[in-house]
Structure 1
Amino acid sequence: MSKFEEKTIHSERIYEGKIINLKVDEVMLPNGNQSKRELIEHPGAVALVAITEDHKIIMVEQFRKALERTIIEIPAGKIEKGEDPKYTAMRELEEETGYSADHLELIQSFSTSPGFADEVIHLYSATGLKKSTSGAVLDEDEFVELLEVTIEEAEQLMKVNRIYDAKTAFAVLWAKQKISTEN
């Protein structure tokens, strides 16, 4: 038990959705006072740094309603119940990009917003890419445009806030380091 641990006194789920659940926990603080925590429960996700033979990163451009704008991201998706994250990674790569990979390697797992959500993203590198003849097989509510960008282009996209999310920024920095050590 950590000296900072908050003990849950009562928990109430106030919303159950397709992707997330919301709950309010009443907690006992380390100093003995009580407080409330509004929390998001998420099944977890995967994301992929898919690197082509000519050292380009596969990305997707899509509209994000929460931001009310289009951004450029690495391929990613929600882990389905009972699904192994590595399987999810391969599935999402094929569905969103139309690519398969000979090699998947876990880079890092990390929390996205630990102040209010339990979501963990498992970030994989994908190499030995092969383009399928059928292309991407998107969900009916998913609209993306496939991009292949160099590290320099990705860094420029970060500077102008076209790459705007933490997982993609982390992935670009990781890919830059990886590619520079290979050359």
Structure 2
Amino acid sequence: MNEKGDILSEKNTFQGAIFDVVDRQIKTPDGLTVRRQVVLHGDAVAFIAPVHIDDQLKFVLAAEYRAGPNAERISFPAGLINDGEDPKTAALREAAEETGLHYDSAEIIYLISTSEGFTNEKTYLMLLSDLAGKGNKKFDKDEFVKTKLMTFDELEEAILKHQITTAPAIIGYQWLKMHPEILKQL
């Protein structure tokens, strides 16, 4: 079920700051020979970050400009995994950098891949827990993230109204909805 194709040839056609594009000729597991352009992109994390405010459970969301749609998008915070980092370390680092919140624990919920027809990027959807404190945000020089807090019901409403359309947010919301016991434990 997880058969790989044989890469017969590969040529780097573009080298960018956060991704490369290669032109591949591949012999697929079913015997076809195909030519495909593939975006090689580092793996990422997105995370569900719960906080308690005034005896109410809220979730941290990030409003950030995204170049693909040329618009701001709201989602669970996310970021790239740095060289040498594991997903847990990356999620805890990104939480501190983008939200200013410091958590002690992170666990992988799902491994998400989208647009598999042209990219190798994987996103680890994480659940953060054990909020340890708050500090200053530390954005990369080319990013600015606005923090938003939403209850589960507000998150659901924003998704149903198509105000939140990102895969990590929708998958994370669905996971929370499937696991009401987790909501009670948070």
The answer to whether TM tops 0.5 is: yes
1:49–1:175 CA contact under 8 A, matched in 2: no
2:79 aligns with one of 69, 77, 80: 77
What SS does structure 2 have at the residue aligned with 1:137?
Answer: coil
- Tell me how far apart the structure 2 counterparts of residues 163 and 141 of structure 1 sit (CA, whole Å): 23
Q: Measure the CA separation in 1 of the matches of 2:26 and 2:162.
A: 37
1:165-176 → structure 2 map (5 Å cutoff): 165-176=166-177
Residue 55 of structure 1 aligns to a residue whose secondary structure is strand
Structure 1 residues 117-163: Cα deviation after superposition (integer angstroms, max 9, x where no partner): 1111111101222442x421111211121111011111111122221
TM-score by length of 1: 0.89
How far apart are residue 28 of structure 1 and its match? Answer: 2.3
Q: Structure 1 regions of 5+ residues with no counterpart?
A: none
Rounded to whole Å, the distance in 2 between the matches of 1:31 and 1:113 is 21
How many positions carry a matched residue from both structures? Answer: 180
Alignment partner, residue 155 of structure 2: 154
One-letter code aligned to 1:65: A
Preserved contact between residue 52 and residue 128 of structure 1 (Cα < 8 Å): no
Moved more, 59-68 or 90-99: 59-68
Is 2:52 the partner of 1:50? no
1:95 to 94, 97, 115: 97
Could you state the TM-score of these two structures normalised by the residue count of structure 2?
A: 0.88
In structure 2, the gaps of 5 or more residues are none
Quickly say closer, same or farther: Cα 1:26–1:153, change in 2 above 3 A.
Answer: same
1:48 deviation in Å? 0.7
Quick check: which one's strand share is greater? 2
Distance 1:149 1:31, change over 3 A: closer
Identity of aligned residues (%): 29
Alignment check: 8 A CA contact 2:92 2:104 kept: no
RMSD: 1.9
